[in-house]
Structure 1
Amino acid sequence: MYFYDKLRDLRKLKGFTLRELADRSGVSAAYISQLENGNRGIPSPEVLMKLSEGLNTSYSELMDIAGYLESTPSTEKFQSNPVNLRRFLRENELLFDGILLTEEDKEWVERMLTVLFWKQRQESKVEDPPTT
């Protein structure tokens, strides 16, 4: 898999559009698009730093997939680090259908997710009664 495939996969995994990544990183959407389409070579370490901040991922991971770092067996496969969703909601400016969410909106999203996960856990406890 090429760098541009991995960059696109990582952006999509994080749930960002090209415009959102551009806004978060300071790298133009046009340049990111060219990178993802394979129309540009590997970006400089400085650009990778900006992209890592915009993607909320480690700089060393991007440096590795770009080929700047020597791969070790544990890093040869693309791995994603889990993101704490509650923290992500609280610490980032978020858009939904083009509308910037307020702090109150984000609190409601957090509450709704909490209810959904609590309900799912309760239902799974009913389906799997404890064995004695």
Structure 2
Amino acid sequence: MYFYDQLRDMRKLKGFTIRELADRSGVSAAYISQLENGNRGVPSPEVLMKLSEGLNVSYSALMRLAGYLEAEDSGSNAPAAKTPVNLRRFLRDNELMFDGVVLSELDKEWIERMLTVLFWRDKKQQPDAGGSGLD
């Protein structure tokens, strides 16, 4: 499968029109259309970075699809062990962007609060051996 087929499939899987992806990524709709129709070569790493943000997929995944990076070794069926990331620290210590907008410290604080509420609400709803099971 060619890069342009994979890009189109990825966009459609996310439910975005070409115009929506253009708005989210900052890459022109005309260029995205040309890419998806195979009328352009593989885009530069800079364009792939913008597309990864617009599609909300990892930059390295797009770089692999485009042929800039080698595919991960699939010889082993066991998933690679990953070190967990402390999400609270990640939110606090990094400059973050969502839909092309850089998040302020207040934005990040609100995200942290929402995640805390969602996480603990979910934990509270799960019955455990020592709890009453009542909310």
Please tell me the TM-score bracket, short chain as reference.
Answer: 0.5 to 0.7
> Which protein has the bigger helix share?
1
Find the aligned partners of 1:72 and 1:29 in 2 and give their Cα distance. 31
Instruction: Return structure 1 stretches of 4+ with deviation > 6 angstroms.
Output: none
Deviations 1:32-64, CA, capped at 9 Å, x for gaps: 000000000000000000000000000000000
Gaps of 5+ in 2: 75-97, 100-135
Quote the residue 1:40 is aligned against: 40
**What is the root-mean-square deviation of aligned Cα atoms in Å?**
1.7
TM-score if structure 1 supplies the norm length?
0.56
Using the aligned pairs only, state the percent identity. 83
Quote the residue 2:49 is aligned against: 49
* Matched length: 77
Residue 71 of structure 1: how far off its partner (Å)? 1.3
Deviations 1:61-98, CA, capped at 9 Å, x for gaps: 00000000011343xxxxxxxxxxxxxxxx76xxxxxx
- Give SS of 1:42's match: coil
Quote the residue 1:70 is aligned against: 70
Find the aligned partners of 1:8 and 1:42 in 2 and give their Cα distance. 13
Question: Between Structure 1 and Structure 2, whose CA radius of gyration is higher?
Answer: 2
